[in-house]
Each structure stands twice: as C-alpha cells, then as structure tokens.
C-alpha cells in the first residue's frame, strides 16, 4: 500500500486549496490546485486555470498516487475561485442588486426564526449560520453547505418555507 493510501481523510483534507504535484503509477506527474479528495477512494481532483480564463479538471485515482508534494498554499482568491467553480449557474440569472435583496430577505427571515447569522467572505456574499453552515448565492436550499446533516436539513426547510412565503 502506498503512503497516500495510508493517510486518513483528515490528512487528505489538508491538501485542499493547495497547489500540488502528484506522482502517480508509471511515473505520471500531475500538477494543479486540489479541489477535493474523496474520503473513501483517496481520489484527488485537481484544477488548473487556463490562460484563456477556462479551466481543466483532472482526477487522479487514489490507488495510483505515489507521492503528493505541496507546491504552494493557496491564498484567499484561489480558495474563492475554487469554491465557486461548480456553483450552480443560477447566479448568472440574477443581477447583483437582486442577489443582495435575496440575501437580505433571507437573513431577516432566519433572524426572525431566531437563527444566528453573519456574513463572510471578502465580498460578504456568503451567509454563515451558527458558524456550522454556509449559504452561497443565489441563496436557495440547494446552496447550503454543512457537515451537520440535521442542521442542514432544518435550515433548508426554513429556506424553502421562506421561498414559498415570498412568492
């Protein structure tokens, strides 16, 4: 078993948002920013930003990984770029004023339901709930992120109620 496979999912998580060089079986080398690692298979998803503004995504199978070497730690801008890569395309359908209105309306609704909320991120676009859940634009139930499934489900239900009530 290779060294990579001996690591725990928490150790793999340390590589997320970092630029790495991966040496895989047959001496193949891959370089890119780690978007995620799979906690079961140890697969690594790498993203490279292209000069034309596009990107390339490469998956490296966990069992093939020989070494992973950190090239550089990502700064906040890289992290935000990676975080928003696969956000639903719904955001493009809203202009910034509409998104701001949706965010403020949702914040008021959550506060009315005694849910502690703050805003985070450089642009203050992300809503943070009780420091365990985040809601990204366009602020629908599917835009919630949390490792606590109970809180995730309850907040998603609240948001769905808010959307239904405001239509």
Query: Rounded to the nearest 10 degrees, how much is the dihedral formed by the CA atoms of 35, 37, 43, 45?
Result: 0
Residue 46: Cβ within 10 Å count: 20
Percent of the chain's residues with pLDDT above 90: 48
Q: Which residues pair with 131 in a beta bridge?
A: none
Tokens of 146: 């949390």
Tell me: the pLDDT tens digits for 9-39? 889 989 999 999 999 998 899 999 999 999 8
Other beta carbons within 10 Å of 5 = 13
- Domain 3-85 top-level CATH class: mainly beta
Nearest CA among 9, 55, 17 for reference residue 34: 17
Domain range list for the chain = 3-85, 96-166
pLDDT in tens, 43-84: 999 999 888 877 899 999 999 999 999 999 988 888 888 877
Query: For residue 161, what pLDDT is reported?
Result: 87
| Tokens 């919630």 belong to residue | 144
Q: Is 113 a residue whose pLDDT tops 90?
A: no
Q: How many CB atoms lie within 10 A of CB 124?
A: 11
Instruction: Note whether 102 and 138 are within 8 A (CB).
Output: yes
Query: Which distant-in-sequence residues (6+ apart) come within 8 Å of 49 by Cβ?
Result: 33, 55, 81
| Residue 119 tokens, joined | 């805003």
Mean pLDDT of 123-149: 89
Global model pTM greater than 0.75: no
Looking at residue 86, its pLDDT comes to: 65
- Local confidence band at 40 (pLDDT 50, 70, 90 cut-offs): confident
């Amino acid at each position: 078993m290779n060294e990579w496979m001996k690591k725990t999912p928490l150790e793999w998580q340390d590589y997320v948002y970092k630029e790495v060089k991966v040496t895989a079986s047959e001496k193949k080398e891959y370089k890119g920013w780690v978007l995620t690692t799979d906690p079961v298979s140890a697969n690594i998803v790498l993203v490279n930003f292209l000069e034309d503004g596009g990107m390339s995504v490469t998956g490296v199978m966990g069992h093939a990984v020989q070494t992973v070497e950190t090239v550089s730690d990502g700064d906040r801008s890289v992290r935000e770029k990676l975080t928003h890569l696969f956000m639903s395309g719904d955001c493009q359908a809203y202009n910034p004023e509409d998104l701001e209105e949706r965010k403020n309306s949702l914040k008021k609704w959550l506060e009315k339901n005694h849910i502690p909320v703050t805003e985070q991120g450089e642009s203050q676009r992300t809503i943070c709930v009780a420091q365990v859940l985040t809601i990204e634009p366009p602020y629908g139930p599917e835009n919630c992120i949390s490792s606590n499934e109970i809180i995730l489900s309850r907040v998603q239900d609240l948001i769905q109620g808010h959307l239904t009530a405001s239509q």
